[in-house]
Chain A
Amino acid sequence: MKTSQDPMTPNLFQVQRIRRELADTFTLELTAESNNEFPFLPGQFNMIYLFGSGEVPISISGDPAQPNRLIHTIRAVGSVTEGLKSCKSGDMLGIRGPFGSAWPVEQATGQDIVIITGGIGLAPLRPAIYHLLANRQRYGKIVILYGARTPADILFRKELERWRSRFDISVEVTVDQAVSNWSGRVGVVPKLINRADFAPEETTALICGPEIMMRFSVKALQERGVKEDHIYVSMERNMKCAIGFCGHCQLGSQFVCKDGPVFPYSQISSAFRIREL
């Protein structure tokens, strides 16, 4: 066995708990077999290996101030993520990471923060939200705009409600399709941007969701006067290594795994302009 840690070789983590969030979405709570802490920055991700099945990139969704537990929130969409869904406590998984760039929570000190997200996109932003709330006095207004397909698809619903009940943060939730008992907003997330209360020239925006949603959100933010280099988006591309070796995640001249996944919009605006880049 090699002594130096190979960056392609996973470390072992044990599933402590699995929590069902939605019909297809669950949260894993893991601890390192070595019992080491797992420090990370909000927005970073890990490669999760399921024995014999495969390895997938998944953002960390836990609290960066609690590095003793590694938290991932996953939507089951295919072979590996479906496999992860049937994990039980005690099972072992392989983890490589943390990888990638972070949400600019330090640079954004003193600014208003607008968080725009849809669906599972809330998971990669939750560590940033924890950080912002833990350091509330360092920021201006904080606005969270979240969209889900239907009310049954609202992720972290309890937490959203808890945040919403605070006076120092504004939370707006919208759904694409309402059902009879839904009294909230209906429509797509970018539509919420117009009415949201923030000072555009003093604002940092953090966006994570489907690319089409991000595109319209960027447009709405620009129309309100938010600067291009103050808009941050988290990109998703196929990943086989997470460390710049496999080439799969390339987006123009950027590697999403090592230059991203969080980018200032100004750095990758061509990706939104040019199809199939």
Chain B
Amino acid sequence: MGKTSGGRAILPAQSLQTLIDVVHSQGYRLIGPTLEDNAIVYDDLENVENLPLGISDRQSPGNYRLEDDPSAGYFAHVVGPHSWKRFLFPAAQKLWSATRVDQGFSIQTPEDETKLAFIGVRACEIKALQMQDRVFSQGPFTDNGYGEKRQNCLIIAVNCSRAADTCFCSSMDAGPRVTEGFDLALTELQQGRHDFLIETGSANGEALLKELVTRKAEDQDFAEADAQLAATEASIQRRMPSNIPEVLERHLQDEHWQTIESRCLNCSNCTLVCPTCFCSTVEDTTDLTGQHAERWRYWDSCFNTDFSYIHGGSIRQSGAARYRQWITHKLSYWHKQFGTSGCTGCGRCITWCPVGIDITEEAATFCEIDKRS
């Protein structure tokens, strides 16, 4: 999947179902944004009706609310509590099972041939997928499950028609415009009409586009799309200071960590909603007969005290040390480990923090501390 590969066309919104049908007909399991329990979550998509048409979201630190908005299109919402990582790196995953045989045991690895297609993937989310690629498939080892699933994954992206109050992708070089890493990119156009501008980003995307009944995209379509993206970008209020990687590392022992500790509940919400957090733990179990064992992998979080347990006690005993691990890993160490920030600026950790701790605000505070020192 590369940059825009040239194919461009207009698909009327009333034909969106045909895109869904084509994806299904190629054997993909299609997943996209759907409405569930007052939140937009990613789930199986059978029908265009499953998309949250006419729904918009309001987000602020510690707050998420959906609103009916007759003018809102299919993708007018921004990111919700789910991220795509749950399909490539599931929250609970059986790694293998083992069965006792005479002297020892034999190991069986589960197989999963499902081909996944994602629709409604935003620029920051593509960036997040690419960050997880670096962890799971571009190091010395490849996670078999992740690597294969990801390679075969079809990405239908959307350009954001608006930003949430919590977004700061523009200062993370992660949006709002989708620039690479997709098969098809949609821009929802609603100025006196309801159309999608479709751009292709891969040969797969080209082939898909050929299956659809579209019309030629004209200059005015691009102009409307560009203006919409520019307006989205201009509306982004939050930002991440660019010198934050060095700043945090200079102040690992500042007393401000204790101030954050006094607010932080150590609930680990921020790591669970974060599209790039990759930490996991494993659990080994046997059944009652003792003949059958399984190994499962679960999402874990550096906010759990046990996370750093070694014989004799946990390394990060204090909440301050655990918050410091989280933010310095995201914003500083990630650069050294993977050559990029670990944050895309999606704002989920801000919205879903029960006490509204804001990563951009804490980063700004450390920059202030840095200036004073």
Binding site for B on A (CB under 8 A): 1-2, 4, 6-10, 12, 14, 33, 49, 51-55, 77-78, 90-92, 94, 236-238, 240-241, 243-248, 250, 252-253, 255, 258, 270, 274-277
A274 to chain B: which residues have CB within 8 Å? Answer: 252-253
| Complex contact B140–A245 (CB within 8 A) | no
* Bound form: Cα–Cα A52–B279 in Å: 22
Tell me which residues from 90 to 127 in chain B have a Cβ below 8 Å from any Cβ of chain A: 95-96, 98, 100, 103-109, 111
B317 to chain A: which residues have CB within 8 Å? Answer: 276
- Known interface pairs A6-B144, A52-B290; A240-B103 also in contact (CB < 8 Å): no
* Bound form: Cα–Cα A1–B108 in Å: 6
- Known interface pairs A245-B143, A276-B316; A51-B321 also in contact (CB < 8 Å): no
Residue of B nearest to A90 (CB): B103
Chain B, 316-334, contact with A by CB distance < 8 Å: what is the 0/1 string?
1110110001000100110
Interface 9-mer from B193-201, B230-238, B306-314? B306-314
A124 CB to closest chain B CB (Å) equals 15
- Interface residues of A, dominant DSSP: loop
* Bound form: Cα–Cα A255–B144 in Å: 20
Contact of B109 among A6, A275, A277 (CB under 8 A): A6
Chain B, 329-344, contact with A by CB distance < 8 Å: what is the 0/1 string?
1001100110000000
| Complex contact B140–A243 (CB within 8 A) | yes
15 pairs of residues in contact across A and B, judged by CB atoms under 8 Å: A6-B96, A9-B96, A51-B98, A52-B98, A52-B284, A55-B295, A92-B103, A240-B280, A245-B136, A245-B141, A247-B302, A250-B325, A270-B252, A274-B253, A276-B316
| Complex contact A94–B253 (CB within 8 A) | no
- Known interface pairs A51-B105, A78-B311; A245-B100 also in contact (CB < 8 Å): no
* Bound form: Cα–Cα A94–B98 in Å: 10
A49 to chain B: which residues have CB within 8 Å? Answer: 284
| Complex contact A247–B286 (CB within 8 A) | no
B282 to chain A: which residues have CB within 8 Å? Answer: 55, 240-241, 246
Binding site for A on B (CB under 8 A): 95-96, 98, 100, 103-109, 111, 135-136, 139-144, 252-253, 278-282, 284-286, 290, 293, 295, 297, 300, 302, 307-311, 315-318, 320-321, 325, 329, 332-333, 336-337
- Known interface pairs A2-B109, A245-B143; A14-B103 also in contact (CB < 8 Å): yes
| Complex contact A243–B332 (CB within 8 A) | no
B111 to chain A: which residues have CB within 8 Å? Answer: 1-2
A268 CB to closest chain B CB (Å) equals 12
- Chain A CB within 10 A, most for which of B144, B285, B290, B316: B144
* Bound form: Cα–Cα A223–B136 in Å: 42
| Complex contact A253–B135 (CB within 8 A) | no
* Bound form: Cα–Cα A242–B144 in Å: 15
Contact of B279 among A6, A14, A237, A247 (CB under 8 A): A247
Return the 6 tightest CB-CB contacts between A and B, nearest first: A92-B104, A52-B286, A247-B279, A276-B321, A253-B336, A52-B293
Contact of A4 among B144, B281, B297 (CB under 8 A): B144
| Complex contact B278–A247 (CB within 8 A) | yes
* Bound form: Cα–Cα A247–B141 in Å: 14
Contact of B332 among A1, A90, A91, A253 (CB under 8 A): A253
A212 CB to closest chain B CB (Å) equals 11
A9 CB to closest chain B CB (Å) equals 5
| Complex contact B139–A258 (CB within 8 A) | yes
| Complex contact A51–B96 (CB within 8 A) | no
| Complex contact A237–B310 (CB within 8 A) | yes
- Known interface pairs A6-B109, A250-B329; A77-B104 also in contact (CB < 8 Å): no
* Bound form: Cα–Cα A258–B139 in Å: 10
- Known interface pairs A4-B144, A33-B104, A92-B103; A51-B293 also in contact (CB < 8 Å): yes
Residue of B nearest to A6 (CB): B144
| Complex contact A55–B337 (CB within 8 A) | no
Residue of A nearest to B336 (CB): A253
A243 to chain B: which residues have CB within 8 Å? Answer: 139-141
A215 CB to closest chain B CB (Å) equals 14
* Bound form: Cα–Cα A93–B286 in Å: 15
| Complex contact B333–A258 (CB within 8 A) | no
* Bound form: Cα–Cα A85–B36 in Å: 50
| Complex contact A245–B280 (CB within 8 A) | yes
| Complex contact A246–B286 (CB within 8 A) | no
* Bound form: Cα–Cα A72–B290 in Å: 26
| Complex contact A246–B144 (CB within 8 A) | no
B107 to chain A: which residues have CB within 8 Å? Answer: 9-10, 12, 94
- Known interface pairs A244-B140, A255-B337; A8-B95 also in contact (CB < 8 Å): yes
B280 to chain A: which residues have CB within 8 Å? Answer: 240-241, 245-247
Contact of B307 among A94, A238, A245 (CB under 8 A): A238
Contact of B143 among A2, A8, A91, A253 (CB under 8 A): A8
B304 CB to closest chain A CB (Å) equals 10
A14 to chain B: which residues have CB within 8 Å? Answer: 103-104
A7 to chain B: which residues have CB within 8 Å? Answer: 141-144
A34 CB to closest chain B CB (Å) equals 12
